[in-house]
Amino acid sequence: MCDNRALRMMRATRRVSESEPRDPDATPADVFTAQAGNPDFVLSLARGLRVIESFEGHLQGRSIVEIAQTTGLSRAAIRRILLTLGLLGYVERSRQVYRLKTQVLRLCFSFLSSSSVVEAARPVLENITERLHESSSMSMLDGGQIVYVARSAASHILAAGLSVGSRLPAYCTSMGRVLLAALPDAEFEAYLRDLKPKAYTPKTITRITQLRKTILQARKNGYAIVDEELEAGLRSIAVPVSTRSSHVVAAINVGTHVSRVDRAALINRCLPALQEGARALRSVMI
């Protein structure tokens, strides 16, 4: 029987096309190996993107040696890639440390400015924030993480550092749970089999059986509440955002501090506002 890595390799060998997108479980290494003989696969571009991705979570920058350890690429190849990125304005160098420059945000902005989902979400989130005086956000599922694609922040300081582009684990976030709940059963079970949850707070659910039950309850309820599982003092509620054909494409949430909003208020005040926002978004999505 093939193990999970072998299965990912088999899927990755399929030619990428609009009708058959890349398997989300295939790692960059899987794709590199599987596409080695594909004349349409631009290896140099893939290597450059892999170097850019290696900076994630490293605010102080990275050396060529550190990037090589993460990517598996040779130091010579990384040096040439960094030189090219530097000439294009995407990275800067200070002695032996490289850092991404704000120019790289143009890559993100290309998606944000071209996505009808994100464009439609902005006024909806602003309306929710104005109505509830709490921060609201939209995210999409990317493998085992959620990626923030739109956000309307209230004046309260909460969950410092969250912004468009932030990534969080799906299993312990309200938006992540409603997005996981929308997965087909086989894909959901595969996600749980590979999951190695860690406790961010004493309240984080890390037992797989309990996570499965909690996420399936979110599927039944149509919303998810996460209470201080990701960050002490942070309480949030989320609902899925669907197209008119009932395909879940995103999630929106409200995040608040436990001292301001209790669970009853989340359901009685915040949930109706989120559901109204999700309906508004559904009406403009195909």
**Tens of pLDDT, residues 76-89:** 999 999 999 889 88
CA torsion angle for 187, 188, 193, 194 (degrees, to 10)?
Answer: 70
The per-residue pLDDT for 110 is 59
User: pLDDT band at residue 172, thresholds of 50, 70 and 90?
Assistant: very high
Higher-confidence residue: 239 or 6?
A: 239
Instruction: Give tens-digit pLDDT for 114-144.
Output: 556 777 788 999 999 999 999 899 998 888 8
Higher-confidence residue: 144 or 8?
A: 144
Higher-confidence residue: 219 or 5?
A: 219
Higher-confidence residue: 165 or 76?
A: 76
Cβ atoms of 172 and 230 closer than 8 Å: yes
The Cβ-side half-sphere exposure at 83, using a 13 Å CA radius, reads: 6
pLDDT(204) > 70? yes
What average pLDDT does the structure give for the chain?
Answer: 82
User: pLDDT band at residue 20, thresholds of 50, 70 and 90?
Assistant: very low
Q: Of 5-9, 30-34, 198-202, which range is least confident? A: 5-9
Residue with tokens 């959620």: 146
How far is CA 120 from its chain centroid? 19
Average pLDDT over residues 179-202: 93
Cβ atoms of 25 and 143 closer than 8 Å: yes
Taking the model in full, what pTM does it have? 0.66
User: pLDDT band at residue 206, thresholds of 50, 70 and 90?
Assistant: very high
Sequence-distant (6+) residues with CB within 8 A of 79 are 64
Strands (E), 61-213: 91-94, 97-100, 135-142, 145-152, 167-169
The per-residue pLDDT for 60 is 81
Instruction: Give tens-digit pLDDT for 22-38.
Output: 444 555 566 666 766 77
Higher-confidence residue: 280 or 156?
A: 280
